[in-house]
Amino acid sequence: MTPVRPRLTLLEPALIERILEEALALLERPGVRVESAEARRLLQAAGASVDARGTRIPESLVRDALAQAPHEFFLHDRSGTARVRYGGDSVQFDPGSSCVHLLDDETGRHREAVSRDLVRLVRLCEALPQYDAQSTALVCADVPKEIGDVYRLLLVLRHSDKPVVTGAFTADAVPPMVALLEADAGGHIALRQRPRAVFDVCPSAPLHWTQFAADGLIRLARAGVPAEIVPVPLAGATAPPTLAGAVALHAAECLAGIAIAQLAAEGPAPVVWGGAPAIFDMRTGTAPMGAVETAMLDVACAEVGKHLGLPTHGYLGGSDAKVLDAQAGIESAQGLLLGALGGINMISGAGMLDFLACHSLEKLVVDAEAIASARRLLDGVSVRTDSLAVAMFEKTGPAGEFLKLPETRRLFRLEQHLPSNVIDRGSVRAWEDSGRRGVVARARARVAEILDGHPFPPPRPDDERERARMAVVGPLAARAGLDRLPAA
Amino acid sequence: MHDGLLAAMRRSILDGDPDRSAALAREAIERGLPPLDAVRHGFVPGLDEVGEGFAKGDLFLPDLVMAGEAMKAATAVLEPELQKTGARREILGRIVLGTVRGDIHEIGKTLVSTMLAAAGFEVHDVGVDVPAETFADRAREVGADIVGLSALLTTTMTAQRDVVRALDRDGLRPRVKVIVGGAPVTRAWAEEIGADGYGEDAVAAVSLARSLVGR
């Protein structure tokens, strides 16, 4: 008997149809602001009408693109083994991307992140089995902005074997990043056959594909690199105030991206129905990533993507708290759990604080526990024995000493997730003896335990793969005025 | 020359396999391995390893209990042989153990009982909801070195004090030591009622009992 897979459903099928109807209507009126000449050319050649007010994309064009978009693809680890499945109801997790700040555990302050922080974060993520993929999690302030994107990817490739969720802040960064991935994979054919990375590409709400986003998307599609389309509608500010309305806008922006990618690729281009939607907080003017409505938007958007048979992505597991406190715990666990129940293929955001501006290594280990709980929930209630209870009672007698049953010893490990010592299940005496450590202290200890146990020297310059990587990054660094990269 | 057999004994405890440990105990007798050597160098090292694994968090309560069961099965086979040869297994001490009056919780108490017995104590388990006088009477009867008191509830924990008083009244202390345990019990509580120690879990209870009898 297969266990029931717990599932969260927010949209009726009829509502999904209405959302798609309105999304398609938005693509025709008012249409999409497409700032990339190449994207406009592709769309126009396929039947879109382009004028000064915008690009109007007819439904038939979108339908053709949807028919061409793959329903499934895989990301691979360094060895070329498929590790992440985009498609169906797979649920996978990666740390949030591109934070500029790090919560410094020693000072308690948010400070600019540097190379060393990213390497530590990558090594930590590498050691935590809850994370299926890495992300280019931190923007490193100790290298020039011009090479920031490719440099972040370099550090991740150096220190990880896992698949990578990445992205670029400029369209020009895409070609060198693709070249770097090819160098790391051993050539462009190897990369096409066994992609290791997916790129986040973000349209700007409402209905605006900037030149950088659209050109980036085209380049990725042509290189055969999977793209995660990540609209960021803010319900009440850049999107309608209702959740259903924001989901419709999100769908329109995704559909426009899918059309551009499929037209550019001249063949099926792997794309993800992604997103980082949020409500807009009317007191502070912020975009709370930890709000329950934000999680509802992610789940609802993914439902629309699933309806279309597309791989999905969402941004959950981040918190708006500034430190690792109870709010961070509530918001992150809630988001991760709801995203998992929504069956979202890739859930990005763990480790993040302060909307999506700040990362925390300690939070990454705490969030890993929430992810483990969510996974356990998805496994559901299994029937593992022929008789549920009767036969065991016959063995134990009416006293029912189940601790003495061999079945208990065998089955409890299958039934119970065993948390790390970040989660306190000991007695109050043990807590007293530990010096009354709270979750932050326990997380700090776990980070130290993992990182101190795994030294991470920079790669040897004579390593073949490193030579190939540096053949791409070295000249770019030199052009950016950097003779030597930070030791990482 | 019995190295393989001794290793298999250790393994049977780690695997928590009472059938196997009993079979190995019989094999030891057949092959002329002195029963005391079988216990000391075969089964006990397995038990120690399980205790250490549990303390480190690598092993779990079912492992502990099953190891205890396997130990019991082995000693049940070896005990008559020991008596025959006159080389009785040296017991570490005699313990009267139970859950105090008003409290019917026995999981913790039984765990401690299993582990103490497996470690080589002679355990007299008097059950649950036990009046203070019963503890005292039984302690006198068997010549106990230690009385162990379990309580799960803050409301019943106070009955541990009654047992200490009963033992005092009967003049059994300080020769008979008192150890206390259970969810609400703290070191401070143990001190307050004049007990001789408390253990955090079944493994700690064994080391506590050992230290009280000077082993």
**Which DSSP symbol is given to B39?**
I
Once rounded to an integer, what is the mean pLDDT over residues B101-124?
Answer: 89
> What are residue B150's phi and psi, to 5 degrees?
-110, 145
Alpha-carbon distances of B153 from A53, B53, B101, B104, B163, rounded to whole Å:
74, 28, 11, 10, 16
Tally the domains of chain B. 2
Q: Which of B33, B61, B85 is the last residue of a domain?
A: B85
| Domains along chain A with CATH numbers | 71-379 (3.20.20.480)
Contact B62 A427 (CB under 8 A): no
State how far the Cα of B96 lies from the Cα of B116, in Å rounded to an integer. 11
**Which DSSP symbol is given to A239?**
B
The terminus-to-terminus CA distance of chain B in angstroms comes to 29
Give the count of beta carbons closer than 10 Å to the beta carbon of residue A109.
Answer: 11
Contacts of A411 in chain B (CB under 8 A): none
Which uninterrupted H or E stretch holds A279?
strand A278-279
- Work out the angle at residue B145's Cα, subtended by the Cα atoms of residues B139 and B150, and round it to the nearest 5 degrees: 70
Contact A406 B66 (CB under 8 A): yes
Parent domain of B108:
94-212
Contact A403 B107 (CB under 8 A): yes
Q: What is the pLDDT of residue A258?
A: 98
Cα-based torsion angle of the residue sequence B18, B19, B25, B31 in order, rounded to the nearest 10 degrees: -160
Cα four-point dihedral sign A471, A476, A481, A484: negative
Same domain, residue pair B10 and B46 = yes
Once rounded to an integer, what is the mean pLDDT over residues B103-124?
Answer: 88
Q: Which of B68, B85, B102 is the last residue of a domain?
A: B85
Same domain, residue pair B128 and B182 = yes
Contact status, residue A103 vs residue A353, Cβ threshold 8 Å? yes
Which residues of chain A have a pLDDT value below 70? none
The distance of B162 to chain A (nearest Cα, Å) reads: 23
Give B133-176 pLDDT, tens digit per residue.
999 999 999 999 999 999 988 889 999 999 999 999 999 998 99
Longest Cα–Cα distance of chain B, Å, equals 56
Q: Is A449 exposed, middle or buried (0-12, 13-18, 19+ CB in 10 A)?
A: middle
Longest Cα–Cα distance of chain A, Å, equals 83
**One-letter identity of residue A293:** E
The distance of B65 to chain A (nearest Cα, Å) reads: 6
The CATH number of whichever domain residue B197 belongs to comes to 3.40.50.280
The distance of B191 to chain A (nearest Cα, Å) reads: 14
Q: What is the pLDDT of residue B13?
A: 96
Same domain, residue pair B117 and B205 = yes
The string over B87-100, giving b where at least 16 C-beta atoms fall within 10 Å of a residue's C-beta and e elsewhere, is eebeebbbbbbbbb
State how far the Cα of A149 lies from the Cα of A439, in Å rounded to an integer. 33
Same domain, residue pair B53 and B155 = no
Same domain, residue pair B142 and B162 = yes
What percentage of chain A carries pLDDT values higher than 90?
89
Please name the member of A406, A408, A427 whose beta carbon is closest to the beta carbon of B183: A427
> What are residue A385's phi and psi, to 5 degrees?
-130, 150
Same domain, residue pair B75 and B172 = no
Same domain, residue pair B71 and B113 = no
Q: What is the pLDDT of residue A484?
A: 84
> What are residue B213's phi and psi, to 5 degrees?
-95, 10
Instruction: Kindly state the tokens that stand for A32.
Output: 């999409």
Report the SS3 class of residue B25: helix
The terminus-to-terminus CA distance of chain A in angstroms comes to 50
Spell out the residues 6+ positions from residue B93 whose beta carbon is closer than 8 angstroms to its own.
B121, B122, B145, B146, B209, B212, B213, B215
Q: Which of B85, B118, B138 is the last residue of a domain?
A: B85
Please give the residue of chain A at the shortest CA–CA distance from B187. A429
State how far the Cα of B193 lies from the Cα of A328, in Å rounded to an integer. 43
Contact status, residue A472 vs residue A157, Cβ threshold 8 Å? no
- The residue of A396, A402, A404 whose CB has the most chain B CBs within 10 angstroms, and thus the best one to mutate to test that interface, is A404
The CATH number of whichever domain residue B42 belongs to comes to 1.10.1240.10
Same domain, residue pair B207 and B116 = yes
Helices (H) and strands (E) in chain B, counts: 11, 5
Angle at which helices A439-453 and A115-127 pack, to 10 degrees?
Answer: 90
Contact B186 A409 (CB under 8 A): no
Same domain, residue pair B99 and B66 = no
Window 363-422 of A, Cβ < 8 Å to B: 401, 403-406, 408-409, 412, 421
Contact A412 B60 (CB under 8 A): yes
State the average pLDDT for chain B. Answer: 91
Q: What was the ipTM of the complex prediction?
A: 0.78
The string over A382-394, giving b where at least 16 C-beta atoms fall within 10 Å of a residue's C-beta and e elsewhere, is eeeeeeeeeebee
State how far the Cα of A217 lies from the Cα of A272, in Å rounded to an integer. 12
Write the DSSP string, A110-162.
Answer: EEE--HHHHHHHHHHHHH-TT-SSEE--B--TTS-GGGHHHHHHHHHHHH--S
Q: What is the pLDDT of residue A304?
A: 98
Write the DSSP string, A18-77.
Answer: HHHHHHHHHHHTT-BEE--HHHHHHHHHTT-EEETTEEE--HHHHHHHHHHS-S-EEEE-
State how far the Cα of B107 lies from the Cα of B118, in Å rounded to an integer. 16
Contacts of B61 in chain A (CB under 8 A): 403
Assess whether pLDDT exceeds 70 at residue B1.
Answer: no
Same domain, residue pair B139 and B106 = yes
Contact status, residue A349 vs residue A335, Cβ threshold 8 Å? yes
Give B50-60 pLDDT, tens digit per residue.
989 988 889 99
Instruction: Kindly state the tokens that stand for B3.
Output: 């190295």
Same domain, residue pair B71 and B122 = no
